Chains A and B, each alone.
Chain A
Amino acid sequence: MKKFTLTLLALLALAPLAEAQAKKKAADAKAPASKKAAAGPEALALQDKYYERVQIPTPPGEVVEVSSIALLPGKKVAIATRRGDVWVCEGAYEADVSKVKWTKFASNLHEPLGMFYKGGSLYLTQRPEHTRLTDTDGDGKADAFDTICAKWGINGDYHEYAFGSEPDKDGNVWVVLCLTGSFHAYSPWRGWCVRITPEGKMIPTTSGIRSPGGIGANEKGDMFYTDNQGVWNGSSSLKWLRPGSFQGNPTGNKSSLLSNFPAPPEPQSGSRILTERLKFPEFVPPAVILPHGRVGNSPSGIACDMTKGKWGPWANQMFVGEQTASQVQRINLEVVNGLYQGAVFHFLQGFEAGLVPVRMDQEDGTLFIGGTNRGWGSRGSQPFTFERVRYKGTVPFEMHNISARADGFEVTFTHPVDAATAGDVANYSLDTFTYIYQSAYGSPEVDQSKPTVKSATVSADGLKVRLVVDGLVRGHIHHLVADGVRNKAGDALWHNEGWYTLNEIPAK
């Protein structure tokens, strides 16, 4: 140790001399291990070229900490707030949003986190119940507040959040129920996902939840939620709510005794997700891990792009809000051996508060976003915000998706690539890691490895690059940096890195 330190010091003394040379070498080779943050100011500067972000004025003098967004007929948008107000906005789609008109529909409900419109009513997942709000006398204000289901436990703890989805194809609403204080299950069904039927029946659907930030379905109707870093979550992630599954956090397991739900697994702390989920077939691993501190710190709302190109070339990809970093991340999913997995990329940034709900207008391609930073800090510094984002029609140069192969990955780009740079293995860098699966709060990155990209083959149309990789690690996050790859015009990628969660390695 001591000897090593001395050697190290001696080498450091030479550093200034060698530094310039090293820099030059790195530049020449377009060294892939760039330290440039993919979500940094350079990416933000380009954002206006591709997407238009507009802050919509909220009702003057009102505290509008947006917690839910619903789309109404006639281009109206309803928002709910953490204080429990429901407002209806007219003009949110207009070019000039300074003329939006707000009408208060309901007041002081219990922290609604999930809202949709159906059959003339607004449905809200409030903290204690799922509720239908109707304006029966047509005066623009809700007067009927019908309790559809109130069968989960709450005990007065501020952390017992309930996030509700839009209805699925059977009309069921999926509700993910945060643990008590995010550590405990002091009330029934905390740490569970339940489905609420239109008749108000509650169906326990998955165990193993910690602290959700949002819930939403993909184009197939499979339901996903975001879960935040903490106990049993080494990092935050996007998780697939396969009915009957265990999502990884055993704190709420005891509620299974209240129904005929089979007892969920009691996993071993200090292990790895892969090890434990191979013991327990009902343990569905996170579809895509959002590495803590690198991708974000606190994922929230979920929207799937089913706009048929109106939101950009991202058909069926998932867009996830990020509370702490005030960003939206982009995720491509695929199914391998019956499990969802895929890659997350940085996407949009610069929002004005910590993001919570996101809602895509699938017809129009407008993404509505709401935020609040009360109680949890965020990069966006306003106390609350309501925003809209639209695609401007210029396709950014991006890794469209990363797809796993038996011996590596196939990366699809949004522009035809320059064959010279995209075919050079030196322009790709891969590193892998995972987290300790443990009852403690979070985890360091562990079990790091450095696979080798052996070949990079560009497809005839220039849109795909097949990477043959030596050293794929099942269960690990594979961090791919493609900094040196250029399109035919010689442009660099808008965002040069992605993190692929390799739950399963496909067979040949």
Chain B
Amino acid sequence: MRFPALLALVATTTVSFGAEDGAQVYNTLCVACHGPDGKGLNGLPPLVGSDWPKGQAERSIKIVLNGLTGPVEVAGKAYNIDMPPQGAVLNDEKIAAALTYVRKTFAGNAGAVTPELVKSVRAATAARTTPWTAAELLKDHPFPAPKTALLNLVGTMYKGEWKELPDFSKLKPAQIEDENTGIISPAQSGLKDAFAMVWTAQFQAPEDGKYTFLFDCDDFGALYVNGERIAEIKGIGPVGDRRKEVPVLLKKGAVPFRLEYVEFAGQEVIILGYKGPKDKDYKWLSDSKLGGAAKAAAKRAPIPVEAKDGYTASYRNFIGGTTSRAIGFGFPNATNLTYSADNCAVELLWTGKFMDGAQHWVDRGQGNAPPAGDGVVKVSDGMVVAGPSAPTGAIVSYQVNKDGGKGTSFKVVNEPAEFKGYQLDKNGNPTFKVAGEGFSFTDAWTPADTRGSAGLARKIVAAGDKPVTIVLSRGLTVQANAGAFEVGPRLVVRSLSGVAPAAAGPDLVLTLKPGESAVLGYSFR
């Protein structure tokens, strides 16, 4: 009977002396997001196939200690979510055990992590209180550079100003360097403007078949594969519209590769990639890749929010260019507005597409989604109802003074008016309701064509026992022209009936007495 008693002693003491069970920690805290198989659950980032848990363990330790925030690319997919910090929950032994388990199980047998290493990273980052960003971590702990298809890459730099490709055989090199990374970058010149570079290498084709090369640059250059000039970008200009995608048939083995490049002035960018016979995605031979952030956004399939069957669409969320309490309406005639409930005002007017829901309806929905259409006019900024503040202080808002995050302070501000909601008509068109001390008004918007062009009709009706003054546009140029006002670059406001607005310097202003109304036509130039 002695053995069981001794065993019990062993069992309890083992735990407290460091033989932490990494799998258990993983399956308690990590599994909900990264999944039991490390492949990520419900659209959250995987560990399998990711470079993040591989290589320098400091990178992973920092993430576990303080968390990770903001955009991050994992296994070729873009994410924008937060990983909560675990440094205050887990001791060094538990973190070491969990990471050892992750590296062994999901990261191709990457080496074990010791509690001593966790301890030293914890000490070195003790001052850090906020989560890391991916950029910070990769700066200090880059992924090991993968081998590319370019063998024996050599970069030769020439100084000078050219507006078309020179005959390099007649130039004198200013610098020649081996680029063992197999990656091409304009930064290898060490210069910002007025230089040219030529890279030569052997391109290793892993098999016979069709290879597609993608090439773009700022400013210009030419790509040679297997002794043939397959692509050329001409003239001074940015990346984007001039991008080339060229197929080439190659035999398995090494073929000569040459890239000529000239930077005249401004930005310097080279985008160069290829797809082999079996590749779905481009493999990059340059430090810049196609897209980046743009690629991530493109991968998020748009979720168009739009008017349907003559019924106006609405969208309440964070909309770029106005305040947080934003209410968007997209009319069937492809005119759109966003109302700021904070400022009792239509603040944005635009044409074309209404909104893309993908930013808020995929992942956690971070940030403001901009209007999806064209020619957004910011009509005003700030409260538009003029008049004395509510004498009773009944209508208040809060002013936020930001002096760098932590120093945020708040102040009570008495406001002259507050938003009371809106009513939709049979076709989903809104009438906004606003009230203040002794007055109220309604503000109705319907789609209407004005002289053949798509626009909106607006009807404002005042009630109560005091007059109200409303700023219809603020800080834009207001030009009276044949009974209409040209407001800013593309808006035309026309009085159709009732009280007419008046220009007051850079503002367009409407004053209504109780019972009065104004009908206005809005069109876009």
A interface residues, Cβ below 8 angstroms from B: 4-5, 8, 11-12, 14-15, 17-19, 21-22, 25, 63, 82-84, 107-111, 126, 128-129, 131-132, 136-137, 139, 142-147, 150-151, 153-156, 158-159, 181, 183-189, 230, 254-255, 257-258, 292-293, 297, 324-325, 354, 373-379, 381, 383, 436, 438, 440-444
Shortest distance between the CB of A101 and any CB in chain B (Å): 20
Docked-complex contact B421 and A12, CB < 8 angstroms: no
Docked-complex contact B325 and A374, CB < 8 angstroms: no
Given contacts A292-B89, A293-B29, contact A377 B7 (CB under 8 A): no
Chain A contact surface mostly: loop
Shortest distance between the CB of B471 and any CB in chain A (Å): 21
A416 to B424, CA, bound (A): 60
A184 to B131, CA, bound (A): 13
B interface residues, Cβ below 8 angstroms from A: 3-4, 6-10, 13-14, 17, 28-29, 32-35, 41-44, 67, 81-82, 84-91, 130, 305, 313-318, 324-325, 341, 357, 360-368, 396-398, 400, 402, 405-406, 408-412, 418-426, 433
Docked-complex contact A444 and B318, CB < 8 angstroms: no
Nearest 6 pairs of A and B residues by beta carbon: A440-B88, A18-B3, A375-B364, A442-B89, A188-B398, A377-B33
Docked-complex contact B363 and A374, CB < 8 angstroms: yes
A419 to B54, CA, bound (A): 57
The one of A107, A147, A158, A230 in contact with B314, judged by C-beta atoms closer than 8 angstroms, is A107
Given contacts A153-B398, A441-B88, 7 further A-B contacts (CB under 8 A): A12-B10, A18-B7, A22-B3, A147-B420, A151-B396, A158-B366, A375-B365
The one of A19, A83, A151, A189 in contact with B357, judged by C-beta atoms closer than 8 angstroms, is A83
The one of A17, A84, A181, A324 in contact with B317, judged by C-beta atoms closer than 8 angstroms, is A84
Given contacts A144-B423, A444-B89, contact A84 B316 (CB under 8 A): yes
Given contacts A14-B3, A145-B422, contact A156 B89 (CB under 8 A): no
Docked-complex contact B17 and A131, CB < 8 angstroms: no
The one of B35, B341, B424 in contact with A129, judged by C-beta atoms closer than 8 angstroms, is B341
Docked-complex contact B10 and A15, CB < 8 angstroms: yes
Report the tally of A-B residue pairs with Cβ distances under 8 A: 188
Docked-complex contact A17 and B3, CB < 8 angstroms: yes
The one of A21, A154, A438 in contact with B324, judged by C-beta atoms closer than 8 angstroms, is A154
Docked-complex contact A128 and B341, CB < 8 angstroms: yes
Q: Which residues of A contact B9 (CB under 8 A)?
A: 11
Docked-complex contact B400 and A377, CB < 8 angstroms: no
Docked-complex contact B28 and A293, CB < 8 angstroms: yes
A147 to B324, CA, bound (A): 15
Q: Which residues of B contact A381 (CB under 8 A)?
A: 41-42
Shortest distance between the CB of A14 and any CB in chain B (Å): 7
Docked-complex contact B87 and A441, CB < 8 angstroms: yes
Q: Which residues of A contact B420 (CB under 8 A)?
A: 146-147
Given contacts A186-B402, A324-B32, contact A440 B412 (CB under 8 A): no
Q: Which residues of A contact B406 (CB under 8 A)?
A: 184
Shortest distance between the CB of B421 and any CB in chain A (Å): 4
A63 to B357, CA, bound (A): 12
Docked-complex contact B363 and A186, CB < 8 angstroms: no
| Residue among A156, A181, A186, A438 with the highest chain B CB neighbour number at 10 A | A156
Between A and B, 7 residue pairs with Cβ closer than 8 Å are: A107-B314, A111-B317, A150-B418, A186-B400, A292-B89, A440-B87, A444-B90
Q: Which residues of B contact A376 (CB under 8 A)?
A: 32-33, 364
Docked-complex contact B3 and A145, CB < 8 angstroms: no
Docked-complex contact A441 and B365, CB < 8 angstroms: no
Q: Which residues of B contact A153 (CB under 8 A)?
A: 398, 400, 410
Given contacts A147-B421, A185-B408, contact A383 B357 (CB under 8 A): no
Shortest distance between the CB of B193 and any CB in chain A (Å): 39
The one of B3, B361, B418 in contact with A63, judged by C-beta atoms closer than 8 angstroms, is B361
Shortest distance between the CB of A296 and any CB in chain B (Å): 10
The one of B3, B400, B409 in contact with A21, judged by C-beta atoms closer than 8 angstroms, is B3
Q: Which residues of A contact B313 (CB under 8 A)?
A: 107-108
Given contacts A11-B10, A129-B325, A186-B405, contact A379 B400 (CB under 8 A): no
A186 to B400, CA, bound (A): 8
Q: Which residues of A contact B130 (CB under 8 A)?
A: 183
Docked-complex contact A156 and B3, CB < 8 angstroms: no
Chain A residue at minimum C-beta to C-beta distance from B43: A374
